[in-house]
Amino acid sequence: MTHTRSTFFILLFLTAFAVCTTRAHAGEQICAFHDQNGEMVVKPKKEVPYRFKKFARCIDANKSNYLAKPDEITLQGNVRREDISTSLGRVELRWPRSVEQMFGRTPLRAVTDAARTVSRSLKTSGFPPAVQNLDAPWKIVFLDAKLSASQIPHQLISACHPGWMTAPANVYIVAQRVSEGCGGSQNRRSASIADAQLTEILLHEMGHVVEYYMLNKRRLGDRARAEGFATWFEIHSSQFSSLLSQSRIRSRTFDLARRGMRGGSRKFRGSAEDYAVASMIFSVIADRRGVRGIADAYELMNKKGLRFDQAVKEATYLGREQIEKDSAKLLK
């Protein structure tokens, strides 16, 4: 889908970079790898065990890959701050007043409504109790187009990501990229369309937070699963939004999935089609077993340390072949 987001490689390092660079020296590299339990670990290269070095992905520690926390991001001009109570927990929200002209609603109203939408979705579905009563430490910042290279990684500045999330509940929204897309001010959307687009982006990023808590606050390095869940959650929760049409969002996602499946290669590269294809397994499970089926798979991942596909098969008896058949039926 056109509205997201962060790449696996970026988020992998952003969530641990600040810690690692306190131990890394100039010219040194920091690396990410899966340990013997399948958990993602980030360490200076010299601390990576020998048996994992072959599979580690590394970057220079002195490159600009640091992402400041939302409450540390420097905003220009007149800045508004709000500390609000929502049905998902306390939210520390900041934005430059200049972004308000891009939407019909203020960021405060948009975030409050999105939190209410997500909460309704969680409480009326088959999500586990811990997630139904989600109480996360939210920090959300709205940015304008002038992103600071000292606070935002180059990859996020150069790519057209309108929003991204880091654990546990940090959400960043680039207002111009929501209201204008990637084409600049000549393509600025109407206030109502920009509001709807912003709601979709917030639901997607909040979906990442929901999944993080469903994984017992673990970060697992499966980008396809993470983006597939957030894309499906966006569709699922949109039914509780007064601004969005669930049928329209589902139809658009399914159209993208059809295109992605016709493309041949199933390797996840982060395209709009990849997001849509990755979401189909969640649509199939929900169609067959309801949201409870998805929750059961995540519970098995937590209890037994299974990969997502293994957990899905054990929880729902749906193997890869059956999922592909059911996906094809849904996409007809």
Q: So what's the pLDDT on residue 157?
A: 74
- The pLDDT score that the predictor gives to residue 312 is 97
Whether the per-residue pLDDT at 10 is higher than 70: the answer is no
State the average pLDDT for the chain: 86
pLDDT digit string, tens, across residues 158-167: 667 899 999 9
Q: Sheet holding 29-34: strands in order across?
A: 40-44, 29-34, 57-60
pLDDT of residue 61: 57
In CATH terms, the fold of domain 70-214 is: Glutaredoxin (3.40.30)
Q: Is the pTM of this model over 0.85?
A: no
Domain boundaries, the chain: 8-60, 70-214, 223-330
User: Which three-class secondary structure string do you get for the chain?
Assistant: CCCCCCCHHHHHHHCCHHHHCCCCCCCCEEEEEECCCCCEEEEEHHHCCHHHHCCCEEEECCCCCCCCCHHHCCCCCCEEEEEEEECCEEEEEEEEHHHHHHCCCCHHHHHHHHHHHHHHHHHCCCCCHHHHCCCCCEEEEEECCCCCCCCCCHHHHHCCCCEEEECCCEEEEEHHHHHCCCCCHHHCCCHHHHHHHHHHHHHHHHHHHHHHHHCCCCCCCCHHHHHHHHHHHHHHHHCCCCCCCHHHHHHHHHHHHHHHHHCCCCCCCCCHHHHHHHHHHHHHHHHHHCHHHHHHHHHHHHHHCCCHHHHHHHHHCCCHHHHHHHHHHHCC
Angstrom distance (rounded) from CA 195 to CA 189: 9
Confidence band for 34, pLDDT divided at 50, 70 and 90: confident
| Residue-by-residue DSSP string for 279-293 | HHHHHHHHHHH-HHH
User: What pLDDT was estimated at residue 26?
Assistant: 47
- Residue 259 parent element (H or E): helix 246-262
Residue 129 has pLDDT above 70, yes or no: yes
Structure-model confidence comparison of residues 106 and 51, the more confident one: 106
Per-residue confidence (pLDDT) for residue 55, from 0 to 100: 78
